Structure 1
Amino acid sequence: MTLSMLAHRDEVGLKDGLLLVDGQWRASGDGATWTHRHPATNEEIGTFPVATVQDVDAAVQAARRAFDEGPWPRSTASERIRVLRKYSDLLRENSQQLLSLLALDNGVPLSFGNIYAASVTVAADVFDHHTGWIDKAGGETFPPYQGGDHLAMTFREPVGVVAAILPWNAPFLLFAQKLGPALAAGCTVVLKPSEYATFAVLKLVELLTEAGLPDGVVNVVTGPGDPTGEALITHPMVDKISFTGSRVVGRRIVEASAGTMKRVSMELGGKSPAVVFPDAEIPLAAATAMGMVTMGLSGQACIAQSRALVHRDVYDEFIAVAQGVGGYMTYGDPFDPGVLASPLINERQLGRVLGYIEKGQEEGARLVMGGNRLDGDYGNGNFVAPTLFADVDNQMTIAQEEIFGPVLAVVPFTDEDEAVRLANDTEYGLGAGVYTKDAKTAFRVAKRLRAGTIGINGFQVEPHTPFGGYKQSGIGREGGRSAYEAYTELKTVLMPLTEAMM
C-alpha cells in the first residue's frame, strides 16, 4: 500500500504556520507562502509565510527595542531563571507532540526521536545547563598593576540582538544550543528555522511565550535563504549570527558580517573519520559507523562518521559487519515504531546523494551494498538504500566531500601514523571516532586528530560540553560555559579610589 502522511497530519492537528513579530503571530507582508512537502511521500503537508525583507526588518526592530528598552536584558538572575526553568518543564511535558510535529517536518522516525541526542529531553537539558550559568558567569577583579589605589574589574553583558538560523535535521538540540545561552545571557533573538523543519520549531516558540518570556524577546521569521535568510544576516541591527548549516552559506555569512563586524558562531558540517585499530571490538566499531550513516537521519547528520579508516588486519570483518547492519534498516511511516531510518529531506538532496554514489563507482570504489533509490511502496519518497563502499582511496570524492546521506566509505590503513594522516587529510574537522582497547593508543590518537569532538569506542552528545569544529567545520563552540560566554561582551571598568585619576 502506498505510504501517506495525511492521516497523521490530521491526527496531530497540524496548522499552517505564521510569523512572530513583537508577540504577534501574523502572515507575511505580501501574503507569500511556502508549501512543505513530506520527504517520505512528497505530499503537501502544510504552509507557512515567506518573510519578506520588510517582515525581517520588523522582527529585528522588535528584537532591538526589546533589547534596548525591554525588561529581559535588565531582569534579575532569579527572574530569568524562573522563566527558563519553567520552559524546560514545558518541553518535557509536550515531548510527544513535538516529536510528532518533527516527524511531519523532516520524516525522522519516532523510534529515533526518542534517542537522547535527537530528543526533546536533550533540548530541555541544554536549557537547564545554560540556565545554571545565569547567576554564576560573572567577571573578575584585578590587583593594581602600575601601583596606586584603584580597582580594575570586568563585567559580562549580553551581546545584543542575535540572528539564530537553524538547520532541518536536529532542530530540538540546535534550537536549545542557540537560544539557551542567548536567552540566559539576556540577549534578544530573531529566529529563522529551516524551511524543511518549521512546524516543530514554531511549537517550541509557542512554549516560550507560555513560560512567560516577554514579547519581542524571541521573534520568528520563516522562509528560505532568499529572501528571508539573506535579509536577516545582512541587517545592520543584528549584533551576532549563530548558524548551523552548509559551508556555502557559512562563507556568505562571514562576508555579510564584515560590514558591521557582527559576532559569528558557525557549525558547518564534517567528514568525520572512524579510526578502527586491529584490537578494537569490530562489531561495535562497524555497527557505530554504519549506524551513524543509516539509522535515524540516514546519514544526514554533520557528526556522522562517514569515513571508516580500518586496519587491514580486520578490514574484511569490518565490511561484513557493516553490511549486516545496513541490511537491518527499515523504512516507511515515521510514526511506525518499527521504522528505523528516514528519507532524504528533499528531491534535490536525493539527486545529490545518488550523484555521489555514481561518482564513487566511476572513481573505482567497490560498491558492497545499496546505491539505489527505494521503489515500490516507497517510490514516491526520497529513500536511498544503505550504501557501503569498500577499497576507497582517501582522495576519492566520496572520501573528501560531505555526502549527507546513507553512504559509508571504508578506507584501509597499515599503521597508526598512516591512520592519523588519512584522518586529518580533509578540509573538515568536526568530529572523529577512535576504536581500540588500548587506552594509550586511544588518547595518543585523539590528541593527534584535528577535530573538535573525539569519541573513543562510541560517540554521544552531552549538553554541558563544548561542540564545534576545526578548519572549515566552523567557528566557535556550542555547549558548555564557552557557549554562554559567546553570547556576552566582556567589559572592563577602571575606578580610582583617590581624587586624582590614574
Structure 2
Amino acid sequence: MTLTVQPHRESVGLKAGQLYLDGQWGPGSGGETWTHLHPATGEAVGEFAVATASDVDAAVAAARKAFESGTWSNARAGVRIKLLHRYAGLLREHAEELRALQALDNSVPLSFSGSIYATSVEVAADVFDHHAGWVDKLGGQTLPPYQGGDHLAMTFREPIGVVAAILPWNAPFLLFAQKVAPALAAGCTVVLKPSEYCTFTVLRMVELLIEAGLPEGTLNVVTGPGDPVGEALITHPDVDKVSFTGSRGVGRRIIEASAGTLKRVSLELGGKSPALVFADAPNLGLAAATVVGAVTMGLSGQACVANTRALVQREVYDEFLAAAQGMAAAITYGDPFDPGVLASPLINPRQLERVLGYIEKGKEEGARLVTGGERLGGDLTAGNFVGPTIFADVDNDSTLAREEIFGPVLAVVPFTDEEEAVRLANDTEYGLGASVFSADAQRAFRVSRKLRAGTIGINGFQVEPHLPFGGFKQSGLGREGGESSIEAFTELKSVYLPLTDEMM
C-alpha cells in the first residue's frame, strides 16, 4: 500500500503559512511561496510565504520599534513572568496538535515525540517555565568603593536588543524554546526564522505565543530558505545578536557577517559525539541499545548531539556489536502517525544522497559494514529512508569517524584502555557531547572531566532546561539553557554614582 500523510494533513487542519510582521499576518511582499514536500512520502504538504529582503527589513524595524518603546523590554517582571508561564500552559494544552504538525513537517514519529523528553512539547513548556523564573532575578551588584571619595559602584543586566533567532528543522520544540524563552525573559525583541523544512510547527507555536498576550512587534517571523531570507537577517545592521543552530558552514558565515557591526553571536554547530563503552558497563546490552537508538530512533541520526562514534573496549567489542545489531533490527519505519513506527526518513533528497555517499565512502576506506547501508524500498520507496547502518573496525582518522554525517550511521572504534579511549574521543574537531558507560563511578567521573565536550552523560544522556547546552571547539560558541543563556541575551552595564560633591 502506498504511504500517504494527506489524511493527517486534513485532520490537523493545516493552513497556508504567512509572515508575522509587527503584529500582522500576511504574505511575503514578493508573492513567492515554498511548497513543503513530506520526507516520508514526497507529497506536497503545504505552502508558506518566502520573505524578501524588504520583509526582513520590516521585521527588524518592527522589533527595533518595539524594543525602543519599552512595551516589553521595560515591562514589570510580574508581567513577563505571567505571560511566559501562560504560554507554557498553552503549549501543554496543544501538545497533541503540535506533535501532529511536527510529524507533517519533519516526519518525526508520534511515538518518539510523545515519549522522548528532549523532542517533546513538554520540554519546550519546561524551558519557558524555567526562564520565567529568571525574569525577577536579572540583578546586578552593588560594590564597595575601590578608591576616591564616597560613591556607589553598581552593575546592571539589560536586554541586548533585537535578536535574530534562526532554527533548524530537527527539534522545533526544544530549539524554539531555547532561543525565544531566554530572549523574552531578558526583555529582548525577536525576529525568528524557522527552517524551510519545519515551518508549520513553528508558526503554530508563534500563534500560541500571541494568544498568550505578547505585545505586537516583540516577536516577528520571516519564513523561507537560508538564501535569501537567512542571509538578509544575519547581515542586517540593526540586529544586535544572532542565535543560530545548524551547520558549521553557516556558522562561519554568521561570524563573518557579524564582524561589520560586531553583533553578539551564539552558535550551536553540531558534533561527532563519542560514546565510551568500557568492559565494566553496568548493562552492555542497554549501552548498545542506547547508542544505537540515539543514531537511529526518532530523528534517524539527524541530531547534533547523537553519539555517532562508539568507542568500545576490546574485551566486549564483539558482544557490543551483536547487541547493536539486535537493536538496529528492531527499528521500524513508515507513517509517522503510526504508533508502531520508531524512526523518521532523512529530511530531503539532498540529505539522502549525502548519507548514501558517506556509506560508500566508509566501504571504500575499509570499514567493515555490519548491517544496513541501503536505501529502504517497497512501500517506502517514495521517501528518503535509509536503514540503520553500523560500521565496525573504523579508523578514528577516517571520514566516517571525522565528519558529521547526520544520518543513521554508527562508527564503532575499538580501544584498549582508558588513556586510549580519552585520546580517541578528544581527537575530533567537534566537542558537543559524549557519553561514558562504566560501573566504576570514579573512572566514569574521571573520564568525563577529561573529555573536551559541552555535555557528558554517564550511563545515559539527557537534556535539562536548567543546564547549559553547547559545545567546545568547532561545535559552537556560547551556551543555551540555565543562567548562561540569560547572560547571553543581556549586556552588563556599570554605573558610578558619587554621594558627595567632593572631587574624585
CA deviations on 1:50-71 (whole Å, 9 max, x unpaired) are 1000000000000000001141
1:35 maps to 2:35: yes
Deviation, 1:377, is 0.2
| 2:459 matched residue in structure 1 | 457
SS at match of 1:254: helix
Residue of structure 1 equivalent to 2:389:
387
Alignment partners' CA distance in 1, 2:310 and 2:54: 47
Task: Give SS of 2:297's match.
Answer: coil
2:28, 2:165 → 1: CA distance? Answer: 19
The answer to whether 1:24 aligns with 2:24 is yes
SS at match of 1:433: strand
* Counterpart-to-counterpart distance in 1, 2:29 and 2:269: 32
Do 2:149 and 2:502's aligned partners in 1 also have CA atoms closer than 8 Å?
A: no
Alpha-carbon separation, structure 2, partners of 1:81 and 1:350: 43
Query: 1:215 is matched with which residue?
Result: 216
Distance 1:147 1:52 in 2: 56
After the TM superposition, which residues 88-167 of structure 1 pair with which residues of structure 2 at under 5 Å, given as runs?
88-114=88-114, 115-167=116-168
Which residue identity does 1:373 align to in structure 2? R
Partner in structure 2 of residue 7 of structure 1: 7
Q: Tell me if the contact between 2:149 and 2:503 (Cα under 8 Å) persists in the aligned partners.
A: no
Name whichever of 139-148 and 225-234 sits farther off: 139-148
Q: How far 1:501 moved relative to its partner? A: 4.0
Question: What are the within-5 Å matches in structure 2 for residues 253-268 of structure 1?
Answer: 253-268=254-269
1:196-235 to structure 2, matched below 5 A, reads 196-235=197-236
What is the DSSP-based 3-state SS (H/G/I as helix, E as strand, rest coil) of the residue aligned with 1:74? coil
Query: Residue 286 of structure 1 aligns with which residue?
Result: 288
Deviation per CA, 1:271-319: give whole Å up to 9, x if none: 0000011101211211111000000000000000000000000000000
Could you tell me which residue of structure 2 aligns to residue 189 of structure 1?
190
Equivalence map 1:290-305=2 (5 Å): 290-305=292-307
Query: Partner letter of residue 52 of structure 1?
Result: T
TM-score normalised per structure 2: 0.99
Q: Which letter maps to 2:220?
A: N
CA drift of 1:89 comes to: 0.5
Aligned to 1:467: 469
Distance 2:463 2:503 in 1: 51
- The equivalent of 1:377 in structure 2 is 379
For residues 187 and 503 of structure 2, the distance between their equivalents in structure 1, rounded to whole angstroms, comes to: 33
Q: Matched residues in 2 for 1:501 and 1:211: separation?
A: 52
- Give the residue type in structure 2 aligned to 1:149: D
8 Å contact 2:105–2:200 — kept in the other structure? yes
CA distance in 2, matches of 1:43, 1:381: 9
**Which residue identity does 2:29 align to in structure 1?**
G
**Aligned AA for 1:291?**
G
Q: What SS does the aligned partner of 1:410 have?
A: strand
SS in structure 2 of the partner of residue 163 of structure 1: strand
Q: Which amino acid aligns with 1:362?
A: E
- 2-structure distance, mates of 1:144, 1:94: 53
String of CA shifts for 1:152-211, please: whole Å, max 9, x gaps.
Answer: 000010000000000000010000000000000000000000000000000000011100
Tell me the secondary structure at the aligned position of residue 406 of structure 2. Answer: coil
After superposing on structure 2, the runs of 4+ consecutive aligned residues of structure 1 that deviate more than 4 Å are none
- Is residue 487 from structure 1 mapped to residue 489 from structure 2 by the alignment? yes
CA distance in 1, matches of 2:305, 2:285: 20
2:134 is paired with a residue whose SS is coil
- 1:48 is aligned to 48
Q: Distance in 2 between matches of 1:77 and 1:12?
A: 36
Change (3 A) 1:212 1:501: farther
CA distance in 1, matches of 2:501, 2:146: 19
| Residue 82 of structure 1: how far off its partner (Å) | 1.2
Letter in 2 for 1:109: P
The CA distance in 1 between the partners of 2:262 and 2:269, in whole Å, is 20
Q: Match of 2:317?
A: 315
Per the TM alignment, residue 146 of structure 1 is displaced from its structure 2 partner at its CA by 1.1
Within the candidate set 495, 498, 504, 1:496 is matched to 498
1:438 matches 2:452 = no
Match of residue 417 from structure 2: 415
The farther-off stretch of 140-149 and 152-161 is: 140-149
Q: Counterpart of 1:9 in 2: which secondary structure?
A: helix
Match of 1:348 in 2: 350
Listed as ranges, the matches of 1:317-336 within 5 Å are: 317-336=319-338
Residues 346, 407 of structure 2: 8 Å contact kept: yes
Q: Once the two structures are superposed, what CA deviation does each residue of 1:461-490 show, in whole Å capped at 9, x if it has no partner?
A: 111000000000000000000101110000
Q: Secondary structure of 1:135's match?
A: helix
Q: CA deviation at 1:148?
A: 2.0
Q: Secondary structure at the match of 1:341?
A: coil
Contact 2:296 2:328 in 1 (8 A): yes
Cα displacement (A) at 1:137: 2.3
Tell me by how many angstroms 1:239 deviates: 0.2
How far apart, in 2, do the equivalents of 1:78 and 1:427 lie? 44
- Identity score, percent: 74
Q: Distance in 2 between matches of 1:339 and 1:501?
A: 75
Report how many aligned residue pairs link the two structures.
Answer: 502
How far 1:500 sits from its partner (Å)? 2.6
> How far apart, CA to CA, are the structure 2 residues paired with 1:30 and 1:126?
36
* CA distance in structure 2 between the partners assigned to 1:133 and 1:69 by the alignment: 22
SS of 1:237's equivalent in the other structure is coil
Q: Which amino acid aligns with 1:145?
A: Y
Report deviation, 1:147: 4.1
